[in-house]
Chains A and B, each alone.
Chain A
């Protein structure tokens, strides 16, 4: 131990000064890989922003599809966020607190929408809520038709976005100190009180992050919406669908709509991050 003590500083100095090559190579390798990752993400977005003139962008924004699409997108993604957080938080809480094998299966099932190709997700939604779907006859008896409505847009967005939130919430609830909850309970706090005054506040940053990811996913949702809700301006045509429709006739309009989508996404994400910090 004394030996280690005396050698300590010298050894440290040695490792710093003795292997400058390794240090430099390490920094270089990390830098190159990180830079490559960054470029892969940044270049396409830069391409979107910088390959058209402001006038062309302005003309694209004048397209009659834009207004209704922006409005519908904000409305439906907000509704889906409320649905996902409102129902996803209790689900995540239960999954995180239960030990049974069945709950591990549930956890995996909830992640399924992430791997489903979007069009398949749309067909799956039709087979659940459509006319000939599992719930079709029951919904039909109540006079409710889900496909081709705003409700369908919200369901499609929630279906694909939910896993991002639930996963984050489960992970956050698992990290909670079990003793903390036990102490709160032994001090007489009721279960709802523990949930709202201990679990939620401590997990808040992770929950907000998950909600932001989930909202972003809902914003970009395209394939499932097209299949399940259709594409009708003012009724079910969200921004991604408007972009795809514009792409059929005019690349510039599609490009300016994409920039609007990116701007809306950035604004919402910044707002959520700011909210989470408070």
Chain B
């Protein structure tokens, strides 16, 4: 009985099913590309698995049947490349951090410098990419906004979330006053939060690499998906979702 249950769950995907492992922040952008891909490749179905990049990496390391991996940071992709689990990763887009503030406080917080004026700040945990970037931004901001600035922000932090969507959800629900998220996430919630840009000299560009998984059951489809993501159509979908081309190194 148990064997039957296991067999049922582990049934291999039907032919013509492209499995894309995507960083959670890419969900909206990739969703725009799926109908196009399915139209261009008849009888193909795109199945996505959206999660934190580190979770997706762990799943691939444990043999998940993925065709494409798109990560929200270089670290996890490089780790998979080093183990020979992905082929030829390339950076295809970039994301920026922004401050989001709940609507009622739009007049109070106009720039990054105003952030400590609110009561409840929610940031990403330093262990996850958005939290790591936030720490870097605050460190850089200390040079222009005063050495005590990061400490004043920290004093108002009520939670360090494990992914960027959790940060945004709390500002959206009005429980947190402000948070730091990716522009792509802020775009999805633009009707409920005010978005404040972080000056480019303080900001960091989060690089998003994409690669075919070495053991991809559908290598051909995987290559075509990556081509589409990197094409002008893909770039337009990414731009609409809040991403931007990477700054020249």
Instruction: List residues of chain A with CB under 8 Å of any chain B CB.
Output: 33, 36, 40, 123, 126, 130-132, 147-148, 226-227, 229-233, 235-236, 244-249, 251
Contacts and interface: CB of A to CB of B under 8 A. Distances in A.
A245 B159 contact: no
Interface residues of B, number: 23
Interface in B106-133: 120, 122, 125, 127-128
B100 to A, nearest CB: 16
Nearest to B177: A131
A147 B122 CA distance: 12
Contact of B125 (A126, A130, A231): A231
Contacts of A244: 162
Contact of A131 (B58, B128, B159, B174): B174
Nearest to B158: A148
Interface in B146-196: 157-162, 166, 169-170, 173-176
B175 A249 contact: no
Contact of A130 (B1, B54, B175): B175
A64 to B, nearest CB: 12
A145 to B, nearest CB: 8
Contacts of A148: 120, 158-159, 175-176
Nearest to A36: B2
Given A131-B175, A148-B175, A232 B160 contact: yes
A248 B175 contact: no
A248 B162 contact: yes
Given A132-B174, A230-B122, A248-B54, A33 B162 contact: no
Contacts of B161: 226, 230-231
Nearest to A37: B2
A236 B128 CA distance: 18
Nearest to B159: A230
Contact of B158 (A40, A123, A230, A247): A230
A232 B120 CA distance: 12
B173 A130 contact: yes
Contact of A249 (B120, B127, B159, B170): B127
Nearest to B58: A251
26 contacts: A33-B1, A40-B2, A123-B173, A126-B173, A130-B173, A132-B175, A147-B158, A227-B166, A227-B169, A230-B122, A230-B161, A231-B125, A231-B160, A231-B161, A231-B162, A232-B158, A232-B159, A235-B158, A244-B162, A245-B160, A245-B162, A248-B52, A248-B54, A248-B162, A249-B127, A251-B58
Given A232-B158, A232-B159, A226 B166 contact: yes
B159 A248 contact: no
A147 B127 contact: no
B218 to A, nearest CB: 29
A245 B54 CA distance: 12
A231 B159 contact: yes
Given A123-B173, A230-B159, 19 more contacts: A33-B1, A36-B1, A126-B175, A147-B158, A148-B159, A226-B162, A226-B166, A227-B166, A231-B125, A231-B162, A232-B157, A232-B159, A233-B160, A245-B127, A246-B127, A248-B54, A248-B128, A248-B162, A251-B58
